[in-house]
Structure 1
Amino acid sequence: MTLDDLRVFVAVCEAGNLSAVARDLACTQSAVSQHVKRLERETGVALVERHARGVVPTRAGRVLYEAAQGGISSLDAALRHLGELRDGRSGTVRITTGGVTVRHFMAGTIPLFRGRHPETTLEFRSSHSARRCIELLHGGWADLAWITFGDPLPGIEQRPVVDLPWVLVVHADDPLAERDSIDPATLTAIRYIAHPDNSVSHRRLEEDFIRLGVRPPTPVGTADWDTAVLLAELGIGHAVLPSLPRLDVGAPLRAIPIPDLTPLAVGWAARRWHTLSPPAAEFAALVTRHLTGEPTP
């Protein structure tokens, strides 16, 4: 069993097609198949099932895939870090997150980090969902992910940072603007600017509506958090949003608490926290301290 065998096996599981992996690796399909067969001989179990449209891992294959994926990603990160140390480079901290996250959660930390590490590059990769962020972590394309917490994530270490209560953002001329809080019954009649279907925040709201026994409002549009604020300012609808650190709700807007909704947990995710480079671990720590009000050393 070699590292190349495991790399090819991981690629086969993710692509679901031997010929696609062969094209990516510039080799023959037979060569790809030989890597998989060697692993099957050494483990004594079938690792993939062949179908008309490709291959899928067996139950045993999924066990090996998850172990190999995490190990290879950690090894690649370590080798990259060693190369940076060897070449005298300060390296790159690669962060994947949603499109609006940097402004709301990291804008206060980035200048401090850049002042401490002027030679270190901060590389941000925008992702449309927490699931995509995790895929980038698993694939070794990112060191850290800032995500909205949902279901447990195998092979990923999660560190919640803050819980965000929900607010209703409305135009100051809206009748609801005079309220001190919004009750669940009122939510059924709002002009709802919905979150994207693939977002954790959308699912959390749907679950809360069921828990509270209220009928979900009919959406008048769909938008990310920042765009929803703009649409509320234009009077198009009402935005149900987490109370973000840099949520701009000055005139002509109001943000009214919705105390019955479950706060939304957000924070960091990484493959293995102890394998992060020192700059990546420090950046995550600085963001955490800034958001939780802890003193920065």
Structure 2
Amino acid sequence: MAAAAERLSYTPSAVSQHLAALEREAGVRLLERVGRGVRPTAAGRLLAEQGDAVIDRLAAAEAALADLRTGRAGLLRMRFFATAGASFVPPALAIFRGRHPDAELDLAMQEPPDSVHAVRAGEADIAIAVEPVAGSPERDNGLCWTQLLDDEYFAILPANHPLVDRGDVALADLAQEQWVDTEPQPSPCSEILTSSFAAAGFSPQVIVATDDYPTTQGMVAAGLGISLVPLLALDRPHPGVVVRRLRSNPPIRRILAVVRAGAQDEPFVRTITEALRTVADSHVLRTPSRA
């Protein structure tokens, strides 16, 4: 007992008290007297053996937590929609990978608001989302929203359309046209377009609906109608279409990064959010050359 106390820098009395408390918790004797000394009972030997394993696992857990806390290891789960995934998300992920080379990535395309619901449910760490025109009902205290960029919608017309010589056009000028609907399903983007059409005083006559921007451009190029497409989806305009800016309050979809409130300071979330903002700030959105 004296030797154990000396090794632990305790007094013999303190060691005795700790052992007595441990025996009370275990409900069995852990030491027995042998002559002038003591030796462990079978229960004492068992507890000592298990104690080593517990200490080793605690040390491993502390090391793993330290890696997670400092961003040396862990998992980032990210959800994004297609045009974001084809434009500014990849360079942001490259920045993230450079700062956290050992991190695991769980990446998947998912449309808002489903991606936002995934963040709220703890199934994803960050989502790239679109804010509806009047402000999202999803924006509550359970989530943290960071604006990345405003993505303007442009009109795309067949190359032989009478309005291509006018330059910029007003949305109201297109009221009598036939339309290719790019947002047939309810979504934040469809809300933005519906609101813009209503403000221009008409409801579009839809000839064909598609949820794929390249397909939309192909339909327009074939002369089936005209459409509105966000600039992020116009990096390579179809050779058979002409792109025109809309005058006076064009539809704009506001793109945001969404994380759970309180998670924005976690190393992985902080790094990817900063990377997304950096890329978005430097992402020059130019009017397509096919004009």
Code of the residue aligned with 1:270 in structure 2: it is V
* Counterpart secondary structure, 2:247: coil
Residue 167 of structure 1: how far off its partner (Å): 0.3
The alignment's C-alpha RMSD in Å is: 2.8
1:269 paired with 2:258, answer: yes
1:251 paired with 2:233, answer: no
CA shift in 2, pair 1:217/1:160, >3 Å: farther
CA shift in 2, pair 1:219/1:147, >3 Å: farther
Residue 148 of structure 1: how far off its partner (Å): 0.6
- Whole-Å separation in 1 of the counterparts to 2:163 and 2:263: 48
Residue 181 of structure 1: how far off its partner (Å): 1.3
What whole-Å deviation, never above 9, does each CA across 1:13-54 have from its counterpart, x for those lacking one? xxxxxxxxxxxxxxxxxxxxxxxxxxxxxxxxxxxxxxxxxx
1:152 paired with 2:137, answer: yes
Which residue of the partner structure matches residue 140 of structure 1? 122
- Whole-Å separation in 2 of the counterparts to 1:127 and 1:189: 34
* Counterpart secondary structure, 2:217: helix
- Whole-Å separation in 1 of the counterparts to 2:76 and 2:163: 44
TM score, norm. by length of structure 2: 0.64
CA shift in 2, pair 1:289/1:210, >3 Å: same
Residue 273 of structure 1: how far off its partner (Å): 5.1
Residue 274 of structure 1: how far off its partner (Å): 4.1
Conserved 8 A contact 2:84-2:232 = no
Code of the residue aligned with 1:216 in structure 2: it is P
Which residue of the partner structure matches residue 77 of structure 2? 94
1:174 paired with 2:146, answer: no
Conserved 8 A contact 1:197-1:203 = no
Conserved 8 A contact 2:175-2:202 = yes
- Whole-Å separation in 1 of the counterparts to 2:234 and 2:275: 17
* Counterpart secondary structure, 1:167: strand
CA shift in 2, pair 1:123/1:232, >3 Å: farther
Conserved 8 A contact 1:137-1:145 = yes
- Whole-Å separation in 2 of the counterparts to 1:182 and 1:279: 44
1:208 paired with 2:196, answer: yes
The total of aligned residue pairs comes to 213
- Whole-Å separation in 2 of the counterparts to 1:278 and 1:227: 39
Conserved 8 A contact 1:105-1:246 = no
- Whole-Å separation in 1 of the counterparts to 2:120 and 2:143: 8
1:239 paired with 2:227, answer: yes
1:287 paired with 2:270, answer: no
- Whole-Å separation in 1 of the counterparts to 2:222 and 2:102: 43
Aligned ranges 1:31-42 → 2 under 5 Å: none
Residue 246 of structure 1: how far off its partner (Å): 5.9
Residue 186 of structure 1: how far off its partner (Å): 2.4
- Whole-Å separation in 2 of the counterparts to 1:135 and 1:161: 19
* Counterpart secondary structure, 1:281: helix
What whole-Å deviation, never above 9, does each CA across 1:68-126 have from its counterpart, x for those lacking one? xxxxxxxxxxxxx948638x962222111223321023233333333333322332222
Residue 234 of structure 1: how far off its partner (Å): 4.3
Code of the residue aligned with 1:152 in structure 2: it is P
Residue 206 of structure 1: how far off its partner (Å): 0.8
Which residue of the partner structure matches residue 94 of structure 2? 111
Conserved 8 A contact 2:145-2:257 = yes
- Whole-Å separation in 2 of the counterparts to 1:226 and 1:95: 24
Code of the residue aligned with 1:149 in structure 2: it is E
- Whole-Å separation in 2 of the counterparts to 1:159 and 1:208: 24
Q: Which consecutive residues of structure 2, in runs of 5 or more, have no partner in the other structure?
A: 1-63, 284-291
Conserved 8 A contact 2:92-2:275 = yes
TM score, norm. by length of structure 1: 0.62
Percent pairwise identity: 21
Code of the residue aligned with 1:136 in structure 2: it is A
- Whole-Å separation in 1 of the counterparts to 2:98 and 2:222: 39
